Amino acid sequence: MTDIPKVIAIDGPAAAGKGTLAKRLAEHFQLELLDTGLLYRAVARKVLDNGIAIGDAPEAYADLAGQAARDLIPADLEVPGLRADETAQAASKVSSLPAVRGALLDFQRDFSRNPPNSAPGAVLDGRDIGTVVCPDADVKLFVTASTEIRAKRRLKELQDRGLEAIYARVLDDMKERDARDAGRDVSPLVAAEDSFQLDTSDLDADQAFAAALDFIENRNT
């Protein structure tokens, strides 16, 4: 078996399958997992709960970001409302604010360098892990899929949670979020030049995992 990577950076747009892949890789290599999207969702949740209009008082976001990071330790803590669709939409907006990204950057880097529970390394899942947070990661994966496929996956996720959703609306929201993530001035969503790009449009979770694992285990051969 190949050497265990110390840091695996996984980036990609919403509903591409990177969260599932990150969890499976973390379990396979016994690494600690950090879903950085949860950090931004936690900030967004605090913004919504405090009635702060997105874009107002950017200095307040730094404090909220610090609180959010602390609230998500341990990493599996479920903050009420964290999975709500309104939180996801707000997270996409607050994540474009420099104050938020700056406040969370040190936390994410420290997690990668000093993972909890004396783990040999970490898997970080997000939007700018391979380009900004961990540019020297041992492994960089960029997971993507067509917008239509991702919208169908998100629709199913929402329906499975008992929420009413319409495909056309989910697709429009997906396109808007993609545009925000790719077009923001700070840490836009883009594949690192040295990343392995994995298109999961025609792959199930097992196939995506197998493809990623094959790349990791043969990357130095």
pLDDT for position 27:
97
| Residue entry with tokens 């903050």 | 79
Show the low-confidence residues of the chain (pLDDT under 50). Answer: 1, 74-76
Level-2 CATH architecture, domain 7-200 = 3-Layer(aba) Sandwich (3.40)
Backbone angles phi, psi at 53, to 5 degrees: -75, 130
Q: How far apart are CA 43 and CA 29, in angstroms?
A: 30
Domain ranges for the chain, please list them. 7-200
Region of residue 152 (left: phi > 0; alpha: psi -120 to 50; beta: else): alpha
Q: How far apart are CA 73 and CA 107, in angstroms?
A: 11
User: Is it true that the peptide bond before 74 is cis, omega within 30 degrees of 0?
Assistant: yes
pTM for this model (two decimals): 0.89
Do 145 and 204 contact (CB within 8 A), yes or no? Answer: no
pLDDT for position 78:
59
Region of residue 118 (left: phi > 0; alpha: psi -120 to 50; beta: else): left
pLDDT for position 55:
64
pLDDT for position 32:
95
